[in-house]
């Protein structure tokens, strides 16, 4: 089976290693010509996960038409901000029936669309689209460290197709029909992870971080509930699973961004030093706007946005969060309906 992997950052490289290791014919598209050339010459990505050796059945190209030629399935692994423009570049070279799964996690600024909604807007045919989300740090997946994930699709056959494509001895794949919930989890948890990193950078302890993670999960679930998501999705791999990994791991870009800012850095300086995008820096804006549109209170998201983009004081954030009016722990989460 020929699978096109669109995006050659850390996650795209890890996915190519994983799927290539299963014997699939992988065509990897890299926006940067030097990455495509480096992989072709050395079997390694010269910018991301440099120690990962890609199998010979992974071919790299900076020409998206070449990458998509003959593809029976497409895996999109670009930053969320680039999903629309990349999909537009794909459209002339992609059949209207080719299944596409997006691994990008975010809500599009302006339209407030989820990533599968962006793909539907550009490519049409919602029934062939899927999203993948879970506690899946590329650094660990690419080393064969046991991991698991969730595929969400509107059509069960599409979910099962990608389940078969990704399932491997060290990568277990589950399906979930709750596309909205799985995708919102992926976008929202990045914002909470930035807050967790800020807590680390300020020298707070386990109690603080556990509180941020737990109340962050409640915040995520309230928004999902309003959008029609299944509350149980937030208890699964895409929800609490990914939240734990992103808030605690040394590999987490979003946690790292929060710690960096707490120690005096900025979003720009973090991206300059790491050469990577922390999705939470964008999602705190778009998820916050989605919360406003839906009439859902997102206090942690509001504080992260204020600190990262509006000149808000990190020192004032704890009081702003801790001083809020007391409420029932599970308000707005829809758990009484389960």
Q: CA 96 to CA 138: how far, in whole Å?
A: 30
Name the residue with tokens 């991206």: 271
Could you give the maximum distance between any two Cα atoms of the chain, in Å?
60
Q: Three-state SS for 147?
A: strand
DSSP state of 51: T
Extract the tokens encoding 46: 């010269």
Q: Name residues whose C-beta falls within 8 Å of residue 303's C-beta, 6 or more positions apart in sequence.
A: 195, 312, 317, 320, 321
- Which residues are identified as catalytic? 189
Q: CA 198 to CA 160: how far, in whole Å?
A: 39
Q: What is the DSSP track for 51-69?
A: TPPPPTTEEEES-HHHHHT
Q: CA 301 to CA 180: how far, in whole Å?
A: 19
Extract the tokens encoding 205: 């302890």
Q: Which residues of 283-292 are buried (b: 16+ CB within 10 A; e: fewer)?
A: bbbbbbbbbe
> Minimal CA–CA distance to 130: which of 110, 150, 113?
150
Question: No. of H helices and E strands in the chain?
Answer: 15, 8
Q: CA 199 to CA 318: how far, in whole Å?
A: 9
Name the residue with tokens 């003959």: 70
Q: Three-state SS for 45?
A: coil
**Strand-pair category, 129-133 with 147-153:** antiparallel
Q: CA 331 to CA 171: how far, in whole Å?
A: 35
């Amino acid at each position: 089976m020929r699978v096109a992997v669109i995006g050659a950052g850390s996650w795209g490289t890890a996915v190519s290693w994983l799927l290539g290791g299963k014997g699939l014919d992988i065509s990897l598209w890299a926006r940067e010509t030097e990455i495509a050339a480096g992989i072709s010459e050395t079997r390694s990505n010269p910018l991301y996960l440099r120690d990962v050796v890609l199998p010979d059945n992974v071919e790299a190209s900076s020409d998206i038409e070449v990458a998509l030629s003959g593809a029976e399935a497409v895996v999109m692994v670009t930053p969320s901000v680039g999903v629309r423009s990349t999909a537009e570049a794909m459209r002339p070279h992609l059949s209207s029936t080719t299944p596409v799964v997006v691994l990008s996690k975010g809500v599009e600024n302006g339209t407030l669309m989820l990533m599968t909604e962006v793909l539907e807007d550009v490519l049409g045919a919602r029934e062939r689209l899927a999203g993948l989300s879970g506690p899946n740090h590329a650094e660990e997946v690419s080393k064969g460290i046991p991991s698991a994930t969730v595929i969400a699709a509107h059509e069960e056959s599409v979910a099962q197709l990608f389940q078969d494509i990704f399932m491997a001895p060290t990568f277990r794949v589950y399906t979930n029909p709750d596309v909205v919930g799985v995708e919102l989890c992926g976008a929202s948890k990045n914002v909470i992870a930035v807050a967790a990193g800020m807590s680390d950078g300020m020298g707070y302890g386990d109690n603080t971080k556990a509180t941020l993670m737990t109340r962050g999960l409640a915040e995520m679930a309230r928004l999902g509930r309003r959008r029609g998501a299944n509350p149980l999705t937030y208890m699964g791999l895409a929800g609490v699973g990914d939240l734990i990994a992103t808030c605690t791991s040394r590999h987490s870009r979003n946690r790292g961004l929060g710690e960096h800012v707490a120690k005096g850095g900025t979003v720009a300086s973090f991206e300059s030093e790491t050469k990577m995008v922390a999705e939470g820096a964008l999602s705190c804006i778009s998820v916050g706007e989605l919360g406003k549109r839906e009439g859902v209170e997102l206090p942690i998201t509001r504080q992260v946005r204020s600190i990262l983009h509006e000149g808000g004081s990190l020192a004032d954030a704890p009081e702003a969060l801790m001083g809020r009016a007391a409420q029932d722990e599970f308000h707005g989460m829809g758990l009484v309906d389960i």
